[in-house]
Structure 1
Amino acid sequence: MPDVMIEVENLGIEFFRSRRRNLSLREMVLKGRSTAPSQTFWALKGVSFTVGHGEAVGLVGSNGTGKSTLLKTIAGVLIPDEGEARVHGGVAPLIELTGGFLGELTARENIYLTAGLHGLRREQVDERFDEIVDFAGPQVRDGLEMPFRHFSSGMQVRLGFAVITTLDEPIILVDEVLAVGDAAFKEKCYKRMESLLAQDKTLFLVSHSEGDLRRFCTRGIYLRRGELVDDGPMDAVLKHYTKDNSAS
């Protein structure tokens, strides 16, 4: 296992402020291009840091400061416009938990599909199937042959969390998903996260919950308007972030 699991170097992500409208055929012939505004902004700019093997890092910042964008770039969902994000090892992305699930397939079929997309062989899914379903809860077990789209949003998220956290990947990316479900299920999620960290996994957590950040993370990274402004012990970074918020 390498000492450094995540390397982010001079990372920049640029977005359009408004979506360009589609051109009609007549507009393409007469104008050749859209007259829609093409103003851009940098969701992330000049961000650099490394995360070592077994570190638990909490990412803080106000809404719209690039936290989720950074996580998606590390996960390989977004391609940077500047710099790069290098990941040394597989990733278990607890970001959009139901993103890989298909509504017309049954819950059972979706378990095999999603786990397979993350690299598990069918025999491996067979071995973990009961563990996944037991964690997701009795409602999910009772609905295994039901189309996924008929599940409540809570049941969908439970199943997504159960599948992704059974993966063997060394890096876990978490974006505001620990607050799912009722108090009992939330505590199950917490215990599962603590179990994963006890296995020396590397954690990168986005959360607005100071309790969650202090519970799971020893190091903090603070983003403000897309730029990295602090990187240090979790408590110190939270104090910096809280001070900035109270002053604004």
Structure 2
Amino acid sequence: MADTATTNVQEAAPVDAQHARVPTVVVDDVHIVYKVHGAGSGRGSATSALSRIISRKRSPAIREVHAVRGVSFVAYKGEAIGLIGSNGSGKSTMLAAIAGLLPTEAGGIYTNGQPSLLGVNAALMNDLTGDRNVVLGCLAMGMSPAEVRSRYQDIVDFSGINEKGDFITLPMRTYSSGMAARLRFSIAAAKTHDVLLIDEALATGDQKFQKRSEARIRELRKEAGTVFLVSHNNNAIRDTCERTIWIEKGELVMDGPTDVVVKAYERGERP
């Protein structure tokens, strides 16, 4: 299995700098295959497993899932791109591959800059307080201690964690799932990213927080980043992204202006 390729793609930009569109992510005929171990055959015995290892035979309990099938597209600096599709269509898998967390079976992914993946399951430490998680999360993103101190209060205010009490000083395990997701997004959005990958982050929180999130994504785009957003909330996609990619059963169905693609998706009209 080939590792996900990462390289600089600035040389692919058009020669005319005045009208240059700088590519930030190139996905070239990518296939991603999961190997699920132990599917449908029980645990088996250590003797049989050792025999298979020695003989280099594949376990009959290994099942392959072809999650992404030949997807290709190019993302450019300043774009906000929505990824839509039914459950299990390969959207989140595609984001994880762009972030470098999943290897490709075939094809390549090339990025200009460091992609940062933000999902509702992004790791924060449940036993630490919210304020400690803010500091550690910012440091992990490469911010200096001085930058963390200068942006700390803005992060807390943006998350809305303290709107109904001093929750930022409580352990993360006391937070609701929505509160935790809002804090994750607020930490990630505090830094300008080359490529920011957001998986369902806007699906959590109230309408006021969603509006703040959408406004922050627009700011990130102006600050030169590229944003990918996976969401089942089509209104969030419409409000945030001018381009949308529809993926179904691991295949790219449609790539174009958000209004056109989302309408076709909602009607189930494949081109």
TM-score of the superposition, structure 1-length normalised?
0.86
Distance (Å, rounded) in 2 between the aligned partners of 1:57 and 1:11: 18
Unpaired segments ≥5 residues, structure 2: 1-8, 11-21
Q: 2:32 aligns with which of 13, 23, 28?
A: 13
Which moved further from structure 2: 126-135 or 116-125? 116-125
Partner of 1:107: 130
Identity %: 33
Which moved further from structure 2: 140-149 or 103-112? 140-149
Q: 1:226 aligns with which of 229, 243, 250?
A: 250
Distance 1:207 1:154, change over 3 A: closer
* Pairing 1:124–2:147 present: yes
Distance 1:29 1:177, change over 3 A: closer
Deviation at 1:57, TM superposition (A): 1.5
Distance (Å, rounded) in 2 between the aligned partners of 1:29 and 1:80: 28
Measured on the aligned residues, the alpha-carbon RMSD in Å equals 2.6
- SS at the partner of 1:89? coil
Q: 2:89 aligns with which of 65, 69, 82?
A: 65
Deviation at 1:19, TM superposition (A): 4.5
Distance (Å, rounded) in 1 between the aligned partners of 2:164 and 2:215: 20
Unpaired segments ≥5 residues, structure 1: none
Distance (Å, rounded) in 1 between the aligned partners of 2:48 and 2:145: 51
Deviation at 1:50, TM superposition (A): 0.5
Partner of 1:215: 239
Give the conservation status (yes or no) of the 8 Å contact 1:92–1:165: no
Q: 2:156 aligns with which of 133, 139, 153?
A: 133
Q: Residue by residue, what CA displacement relative to the aligned partner does 1:137-161 show, whole Å, maximum 9, x if unpaired?
A: 2158713332222222222112111
Q: 2:216 aligns with which of 174, 177, 192?
A: 192
Deviation at 1:193, TM superposition (A): 2.3
TM-score of the superposition, structure 2-length normalised?
0.80
Deviation at 1:125, TM superposition (A): 0.9
Letter in 2 for 1:37: A
Distance (Å, rounded) in 2 between the aligned partners of 1:140 and 1:82: 50
- SS at the partner of 1:80? coil
Distance (Å, rounded) in 2 between the aligned partners of 1:78 and 1:207: 20
Partner of 1:83: 107
Give the conservation status (yes or no) of the 8 Å contact 1:175–1:205: yes
Letter in 2 for 1:103: N
Partner of 1:145: 169
Runs of 4+ that moved beyond 6 A = none
What is the total number of aligned residue pairs between the two structures? 245
Letter in 2 for 1:133: V
Distance (Å, rounded) in 2 between the aligned partners of 1:19 and 1:25: 13
Distance (Å, rounded) in 2 between the aligned partners of 1:146 and 1:220: 39
Distance 1:207 1:30, change over 3 A: closer
Letter in 1 for 2:29: N
Distance 1:31 1:215, change over 3 A: closer
- SS at the partner of 1:78? coil
Deviation at 1:28, TM superposition (A): 3.9
Give the conservation status (yes or no) of the 8 Å contact 1:23–1:34: no
